[in-house]
Amino acid sequence: MKLIRCLSEMIGEEIDDADKYIKHALKYKDERRGLADLFFQLSTEEMRHMALLHAEVAKIIEEYRKTNGSPPPEMQAVYDYLHAKHIEDASIVKAAQALYREG
């Protein structure tokens, strides 16, 4: 499905942006705390966007299953690959966010 692919790309972009912002938050944490806090907030907001988009993908897949049965193996394989990548990338961002919160 083109829509799932599009949303998956958006999810990846949100995670990439969250990663960019949290790296800046950690970089400026000691010398410019206000700016660092802003970067941290932006990072968490991007992760919220990611979660919202992911929920929509899950709804689309569930709707597809209700009307058509199991997705074609090719579609499921692409989704599984992207989903696993998103989970791995998001866990790295969440770990960096936790590190920021500690200090």
Q: What percent of the chain has a predicted confidence (pLDDT) above 90?
A: 81
Q: Which residue has the higher pLDDT, 76 or 51?
A: 51
Total domains in the fold of the chain? 1
pLDDT at 70 over 80: yes
The predicted model gives 5-34 an average pLDDT of: 97
pLDDT at 84: 95
Q: Which domain holds residue 93?
A: 2-102
Instruction: Give the CA dihedral 33, 37, 43, 45, nearest 10 degrees.
Output: -170
The predicted model gives 9-20 an average pLDDT of: 97
Q: Rounded to an integer, what distance in angstroms lies between the CA atom of residue 5 and that of residue 10? A: 9
Closest CA to 82 of 49, 53, 59: 53
- Asked which of 19-23, 59-63, 70-74, 86-90 is least confident by mean pLDDT, the reply is 70-74
Closest CA to 79 of 68, 91, 66, 70: 70
Amino acid sitting at position 84: A
